[in-house]
């Protein structure tokens, strides 16, 4: 009996440590469940990244499949999916942010805005901040700026899955503007407001990497 108890305790300790090690991925997987189950939603099955299967995304293919908008900011209709790959922890997608001339009214905040972010047929027109994920932007074409930090004067409600929308962002809102071009990488941690703002006549095109960073509460 004296030998059985220490062995049992050892098994419990190993199981506990294994649970801690796998907790971030398990929680991230839960958050990647469909929205109706409280998650962020998975990507298409066809772009699911499989363990052990590496691949290349060619920049020339992206430029051919996702051309810039016209001078007004209108994108040509396309059947190409912007989803480049995903797993329960991270995802890759192609976004285009044109300069809109004339400006359009944001359906979220009601602001008249000059910048939109398009992912396929989905569009967003405001600054964003995320509580549950960090992001990387890998700029592939276009020129403009990205405003980081600060706090927008207006914020859209409700907040869904930790994602905030508001805007626009500028120096008056405490943000810092950074000039960006092809080849630059923008790092956006959690709880940082951000907005891509293309130059007039330009379309900022970039690969967005979403990285789930679940907050483990005691």
Q: What is the pLDDT of residues 108-138, one digit of tens each?
A: 888 899 999 999 989 999 999 999 999 999 9
Looking at the predicted structure, is the pLDDT value of residue 34 above 90?
no
Same domain, yes or no: 97 and 190? yes
CA atoms within 13 A on the CB side of 40: 24
CA atoms within 13 A on the CB side of 38: 4
User: pLDDT, tens digit, for every residue of 73-109?
Assistant: 999 999 999 999 999 899 999 999 999 999 999 988 8
Which residue do the tokens 């050892």 mark?
10
Which of 2-6, 52-56, 153-157 has the highest mean predicted lDDT (pLDDT)?
52-56
Same domain, yes or no: 51 and 31? no
DSSP character string of 99-136: EEEEEEE-TTT--EEEE-EEETTEEE-SEEEESSEEEE
200-to-91, 103, 216 alpha-carbon distances in Å? 29, 11, 43
pLDDT on residue 16: 34
Q: Hey, is 27 helix, strand or coil?
A: helix
pLDDT on residue 42: 63
pLDDT band at 13 (very low <50, low <70, confident <90, very high): very low
Same domain, yes or no: 52 and 149? yes
pTM of the model: 0.80
CA–CA–CA angle 122, 108, 136 (5° rounding): 55
Same domain, yes or no: 21 and 110? no
Which residue do the tokens 């071009």 mark?
181
Question: Is there a domain that residue 41 lies in?
Answer: no
Question: Is there a domain that residue 217 lies in?
Answer: no
- Count of structural domains within the chain: 2
Range of the domain at 98: 46-212
Q: Hey, is 20 helix, strand or coil?
A: helix
Contact between 78 and 63 (Cβ < 8 Å): no
Contact between 160 and 41 (Cβ < 8 Å): no
């Amino acid at each position: 009996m004296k030998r059985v108890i220490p062995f049992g305790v050892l098994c419990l300790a190993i199981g506990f440590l294994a649970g801690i090690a796998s907790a971030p991925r398990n929680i991230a997987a839960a958050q990647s469940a469909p929205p109706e189950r409280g998650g962020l939603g998975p990507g298409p099955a066809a772009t699911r990244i499989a363990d052990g299967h590496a691949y290349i995304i060619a920049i020339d293919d992206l430029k051919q499949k996702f051309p810039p908008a016209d001078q007004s900011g209108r994108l040509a209709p396309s059947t190409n999916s912007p989803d480049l790959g995903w797993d329960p922890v991270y995802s890759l997608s192609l976004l285009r942010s044109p300069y809109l001339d004339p400006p359009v009214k944001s359906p979220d905040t009601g602001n008249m805005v000059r910048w939109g972010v398009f992912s396929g047929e989905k569009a967003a027109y405001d600054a964003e901040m995320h509580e549950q994920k960090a992001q990387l932007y890998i700029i592939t074409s276009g020129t403009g700026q990205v405003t980081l930090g600060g706090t927008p004067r207006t914020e859209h409600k409700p907040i869904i899955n930790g994602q905030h929308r508001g805007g626009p962002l500028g120096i008056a809102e405490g943000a810092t503007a950074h000039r960006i071009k092809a080849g630059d990488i923008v790092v956006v941690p959690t709880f940082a407001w951000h907005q891509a703002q293309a130059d007039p006549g330009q379309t900022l095109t970039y690969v967005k990497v979403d990285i789930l960073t679940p907050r483990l509460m005691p």
